[in-house]
Amino acid sequence: MKDNALNSLQSVSRTIDVINCFVSERELSFNAICKKTNLSNGTIFRIINTLIKNEYIEKNENNKYILGRKLVILGLRSFSNIELSGIIHPILVELARETKETCNAAILTDDRFIYIDTVESVYALKMMIRIGQLGFLHSSAAGKALLAFNDEKSFFELLNKIELKKFNNNTITDKNKLLEEIQKIRGIGYSIDDEEEEIGAKCIGGPIFNNEGKLIGAISISAPSSRFDQNFDKFVIELKKACKKASEKIGIS
């Protein structure tokens, strides 16, 4: 019994050692984790498989390991972003009621963004977003809003960091074209994902600011392209209302 307890404690300790590898690194190869922890390949293999199964670690497009959505969500709960979600959630509920589509809130995280809240569409055919899901800044409505309405210094830092990954022929993969798009977004006050990640899916996004005019996050509406096109004017009006209301609530919170 005593040996089993010691083995369990050792397993927990080793698992924490693996997770701690990501404190200073965004992504790591299998060999890098082994080197950082000084643990055997077999031990790391078992720990990583368990963490992947429970969504605490996942593999990215570079075939390297990154923190998974469960850990990201837990991280959010330790920051003020959970308060942000609490403020915005009733606004998302109202926005979803008005538009009948999936409505989301997102914040920046490094050179990506993360969805911190979502309210699903009432329709059977709808866009599905997970809390904790990561997104790209150049190809999504929420991402482009977070890019466009950031301060100039942060904007250019992000522009130099992000990968303009191509999802289809509609994706912006040229930085000059992205700059043109950003200027347009700043002029009209909202951003659009015009089937740039997924054919048949469109989104519209807008910024949320605090009382000092600093970008805090973004709200987006996601819908199948046919319904998006039919209701576009209404979506613009309702999105702008929701963003204004969220900014005002954050300003007085």
Give the pLDDT of residue 7.
61
Give the pLDDT of residue 171.
97
Q: Which residues of 1-23 are buried (b: 16+ CB within 10 A; e: fewer)?
A: eeeeeeeeeeeeeebebbeebbe
Give the pLDDT of residue 80.
46
Give the pLDDT of residue 63.
87
Q: Which residues of 47-74 are buried (b: 16+ CB within 10 A; e: fewer)?
A: bbeebeeeebbeeeeeeebbbbbebbbe
Task: Judge whether 2-67 and 74-252 match in fold.
Answer: no
Average pLDDT of each block of 10 consecutive residues along the chain (253 residues)? Answer: 58 88 84 93 92 89 83 60 76 97 92 91 93 91 97 91 94 96 97 97 96 93 97 98 93 58
Give the pLDDT of residue 169.
97
What is this structure's pTM?
A: 0.72
- Domain limits, the chain: 2-67, 74-252
Superfamily of 74-252 according to CATH:
GAF domain (3.30.450.40)
CA–CA gap between residue 2 and residue 131 (Å, rounded) = 40
Q: The domain 2-67: what is its CATH number?
A: 1.10.10.10
CA–CA gap between residue 36 and residue 20 (Å, rounded) = 10
